[in-house]
Amino acid sequence: AFKEIIEEYRPQCVFLVTTCVIEIIGDDFDAISEGLSELYGIPVLPVHTEHFKCEDHLPGLERTITVCAEMMKSCDSDNSVNLLGQRMGDFATTELYAMLQKAGVKIGLQLPCGCSVDDIKNAAAAKVNIVVNDIALPLAQKMQEKFGIPYVYFNKFVIPEKIYEAYKNLFGYLELELPGELEGLYQNAREKIEKNKGELEGITYIYGNTPYAVFEMNCFLSSLGMVPQVIQTNRYTEADEPYAKEILQYTDPYVCKAANIAPLQYVYDVLSPYLYLGHEFGNRLRQKGIAIVHSDRASGMLGFEVTGYLLQQLVKSVREAKEYRKELGL
């Protein structure tokens, strides 16, 4: 099968993804990959995806990205930045990209979206790695250890101070002056928060699944006076603890390790929230006096634009929920 792949596609590298059956049988795909790499003279990289040990598909993405470090080689720095972990959207449309462009910063590797094998091989030319999703953290840590390249964690934060901090860290590593307009963007985000805070205070919600960082986002919403009743999440890490502790200063929500709407539907009648953040059936929620907060567009955003977009969607959905509840006499 591998011989046919080589003859038909002439690939520059091949990922051997195991899946459940291979992992249960116990075939040594690390040794197989090494042997095939020597035989055909190209990188053959094993990716272990024993899904029966995982909560979801994200470990497979993480391991595929991380194993790319095996292809990377030492090279002179070209003062570029690598973007690691963006799964959706176009980086070129983001606020972060615009700030880097204005500062004359070259964009290097974009993994997993929009890159070639040569881009991966030359990734160590970057001065800084920007990590925009947890799935890329292990790769960034490997590159820091192997090549001495620092990384900045720049997730889809909504807390303006976290966003500003990420910008400052990034431009500090780049040894460049912080773009002047960032102060204006920060102040604008704070003004939007103050403007909308009154309309959001006391609004109850269930958190399902969004592009945002789960506990950072819920911490932000709690600080606005909103009330999370249920937070669904598939993982809880040490980095989440400070946010969880702050949430508990405001309220004490239920937390469940799933984002499955089917078994949770009875909760709507028990808790009667105003909002559902995530994916659900809008008509079903409306019948319960609940509005859905659409946030998928945030997948293609990075920077203070994330804060503004979220506030806009929240206010819109709160007004819808109040109309629904009025119609139902709630």
Query: Which residue, chain included where needed, has tokens 């929500």?
Result: 253
What was the pLDDT predicted at 259?
A: 61
Largest CA distance in the chain: 73
Q: How many CA atoms lie within 13 A of 91 on its CB side?
A: 26
pLDDT tens digit at each of 330 positions of the chain:
899 999 999 999 999 998 888 888 888 989 999 999 999 999 999 998 887 777 677 788 889 999 999 999 999 999 999 999 988 778 999 999 999 999 999 999 999 887 889 999 999 999 999 999 888 999 999 999 999 999 999 988 999 999 999 999 999 999 999 999 999 999 999 999 999 999 999 999 999 888 888 999 999 999 999 999 999 988 888 989 999 999 999 999 999 887 667 778 889 999 999 999 988 888 999 999 999 998 888 888 999 999 999 999 999 999 999 999 999 998
Instruction: Return the closest-CA partner of residue 218 out of 205, 199, 236, 201.
Output: 205
Q: Which residues pair with 15 in a beta bridge?
A: 45
CB distance 298 to 212 below 8 Å: yes
Query: Which residue, chain included where needed, has tokens 């985000």?
Result: 189
List of long-range contacts for 327-330, beta carbons under 8 Å, 24+ apart: 328/287, 328/289, 330/272, 330/289
Query: Which residue, chain included where needed, has tokens 């928060």?
Result: 193
- Burial of 13 (C-beta count, 10 Å sphere; 0-12/13-18/19+): middle
Instruction: Return the closest-CA partner of residue 29 out of 53, 45, 50.
Output: 45
- Measure the CA–CA gap between 137 and 131, rounded to whole angstroms: 7
Instruction: Return the closest-CA partner of residue 291 out of 200, 217, 212, 193.
Output: 200
The pTM of the full predicted model, rounded to 2 decimals, is: 0.88
Q: Could you please report the per-residue DSSP string of 22-86? A: HHHHT--HHHHHHHHHHHHTS-EEEE---GGG-SSSHHHHHHHHHHGGGG-------SEEEEE--
Using alpha carbons only, give the angle 64, 69, 73 rounded to the nearest 5 degrees: 150
Name 328's Cβ contacts closer than 8 Å, sequence gap at least 6.
Answer: 287, 289
- Measure the CA–CA gap between 110 and 105, rounded to whole angstroms: 14
What was the pLDDT predicted at 83?
A: 95
- Measure the CA–CA gap between 160 and 307, rounded to whole angstroms: 7
Domains and CATH numbers, the chain: 2-53 (no CATH), 73-154 (3.40.50.1980), 191-328 (3.40.50.1980)
Q: Which residues pair with 256 in a beta bridge?
A: 232
In what order do the strands lie in the sheet containing 151-153?
Answer: 107-111, 80-84, 126-131, 151-153
- Measure the CA–CA gap between 238 and 76, rounded to whole angstroms: 35
